[in-house]
Amino acid sequence: MLLGCHLSISGGLEQTVARAQELQINALQIFSHNARSWKMGALKPEEAKKFIEQRQRTRIEYAVIHTIYLINLASPNPKNFQLSVQALKDEVQRAGELNIPHVNTHIGAHLGQGVEQGLERIVEAINAVLASPPAQRAPDVKILLENSAGEGTELGATFAELGFVLRHITQKERVGVCVDTCHAWAAGYDLTTPQGLEKMLAELEREIGLERVLLLHLNDSKFPLGARRDRHEHIGQGHIGAEGFRLIVNHRDLREKPFILETPKDDEQSDPTNLARIRALRYDG
């Protein structure tokens, strides 16, 4: 099973590799810089080299960069739209420099301009990023669009909305999807029962194609089904519950995909505990 968690880069990129080894994970998600700031200094070549070398010496088979939370690819504000497009270009460039195949991003919120207008902005943004020199220099890097919880005017809570974006992207082979379990639950997809999970997967297949789901975020939810609240909980301690995750991590259509935890980090034991819970639910290694 490809399993890992989001790790902080506060101690430097190389620290994440060491921490991943401690946790005995073979998948890893990172921010490539301070997630609450637009400012992104260029990556030092020796920093990238070190990260790649260290990773080669470990069992980290899968890695993904998560973009900063400030990005809104649907922003009706021209300045913010530009900053968001630039930030995504920069992340794609960094992924290329770090030999990381995927850049996962939230797509954004329409902020009152309407769903259709917002989705069209997102298409425009991603097409611009993929047509840019940084993306052309990193042809193997894919952008993953994450489903949202649907808080406020957030777009992408339904797979139909993500599907609309995917269908309008010019370079389709460079874009995939990430399904976050907490967000799906918040948006009203009941993935805790066999029938509910099958229904969600049928919709995913119809709107997106299961082969384009390249990553899953495993998060339990502090709020009930359909609450449209994006509040992650420890595995098994929220409304999705251990049995929900048992269905998800063993499902034939999902079990080969990378699983990344974005569960709360209360203390040193949080990550090991949540990882152990997922491992215990899996029927075989």
In the complex with Zn ion, which residue's Cβ is closer, 54 or 181? 181
* Binding partner at 230 among Zn ion, Mn ion, none, C-beta below 5 to 8 Å by kind: Mn ion
* Binding partner at 198 among Mn ion, Zn ion, none, C-beta below 5 to 8 Å by kind: none
In the complex with Zn ion, which residue's Cβ is closer, 40 or 52? 40
DSSP state of 154: B
In angstroms, rounded to a whole number, what is the distance separating the alpha carbons of residues 261 and 6? 6
Q: How many angstroms separate the most distant Cα atoms in the chain?
A: 50
In angstroms, rounded to a whole number, what is the distance separating the alpha carbons of residues 252 and 233? 25
| Shortest spacing between CB 44 and Mn ion, in angstroms | 28
In the complex with Zn ion, which residue's Cβ is closer, 146 or 207? 146
Spatial CA neighbour of 187 closest among 160, 216, 206, 209? 160
DSSP state of 168: H
| Shortest spacing between CB 249 and Zn ion, in angstroms | 19
In the complex with Mn ion, which residue's Cβ is closer, 54 or 158? 158
Which positions are catalytic?
Answer: 36, 66, 69, 106, 146, 180, 183, 217, 230, 232, 262
| Shortest spacing between CB 170 and Mn ion, in angstroms | 26
In angstroms, rounded to a whole number, what is the distance separating the alpha carbons of residues 159 and 192? 18
Tell me which residues touch Mn ion (CB under 5 A).
Answer: 180, 217, 230, 262
Residue 25's identity, in one-letter code, is I
Dihedral angle, C-alpha 80, 84, 87, 89, nearest 10 °: -130
String of contacts with Zn ion for each residue 136-175, x by CB under 5 A: ----------x-----------------------------
Q: Which residues bind Zn ion (CB under 5 A)?
A: 146
